[in-house]
Amino acid sequence: MTKPPASKTKATVWVVEKGQVRPKLDQLTTEEPLEIRIASPQKTIAVTMRSPGADFELAAGFLYNEGVITSKKDIQRISYCVDGEQRYNIVNVALTEGLIPDLQPLERHFYTTSACGVCGKASLESLRLRNCPVILPVPTITPEIIYSLPDKLRSAQAVFTATGSLHAAALFDQNGNLLKLREDIGRHNALDKLIGSALLADQLPLNNHIVMVSGRSSFEILQKSTAAAIPIVCAVSAPSSLAVSVAQEFGITLIGFLRGERFNVYSGLERIRTHL
């Protein structure tokens, strides 16, 4: 990686509005993994998905918030990895000589191992290694079904109605009927709960269903949807660049900015019955 990843990624999307569809050039927020290492002894302590930019600040803030360091003085230097070429998805943090950090609490953050050069391609490769199949191009649904989902999701959010502070993931059948909904302070957790519910009820795969999440759709949302073979994923806000890449590779119809009688299709337009 000879230059740092850009904060935005260009993409062609399809705007579906009042049953009509038109192409549009759009900008996606770039999503890439960042591997945070301490330099001596060299050890990866976390891999986190992020928008590129202010990576040194992210690493420093993470170490401080997790109690690895207590002040700026605990950091000797921060740099990107150099192993033959510049690696902008890996940050090395050299701690002050003699500082022995307690890394035990960080184990929950380490979700994958990687050689030097962790990137979006490596994240996609992890899905390929799980042998997740490409999802068949069914079912097909009308825009009207998609338009109806946000109100159904919101009306079923009992805890959100009371607190105003929770995300939700909702499961619908191909006719737009709400089957179940789960809430959590984290949208990824809400989807885990939803898929876990289907797993415990012996309802997987969910290859004839629709999922809608509040907020945006990220790599993690599409990763979990791929594993559960969910063919259509909808969100109130925009997807990230890596979310779109996952959707395109594994045959998922990815919908964003679902508001009123309008939404954008980032992948899998063939499942939406529209008039060009």
pLDDT value for 68: 82
Within 10 A of 61 (CB to CB), how many other CB atoms are there? 11
Query: What per-residue confidence (pLDDT) applies to 1?
Result: 56
Helices 187-200, 219-227: inter-axial angle, 10-degree rounding: 10
The CATH-assigned architecture of domain 8-29+133-271 is 3-Layer(aba) Sandwich (3.40)
Domain segments of the chain: what residues?
8-29+133-271, 32-118
Mean pLDDT per 10-residue segment, the chain (276 residues): 78 90 89 85 82 84 78 89 78 87 62 47 72 88 96 80 70 96 82 88 92 90 91 95 94 96 96 79
Query: 151: exposed, middle or buried (C-beta count within 10 Å: 0-12, 13-18, 19+)?
Result: exposed
The catalytic residues are 116
Options 3.30.230.70, 3.90.79.10, 3.30.70.20, 3.10.20.10; CATH of 32-118: 3.10.20.10
**Angstrom distance (rounded) from CA 45 to CA 122:** 18
Cα dihedral 264, 270, 275, 276, rounded to 10, equals 80
**Judging by DSSP bridges, how do beta strands 42-50 and 178-184 pair with one another?**
unpaired
Do domains 8-29+133-271 and 32-118 share one topology? The answer is no
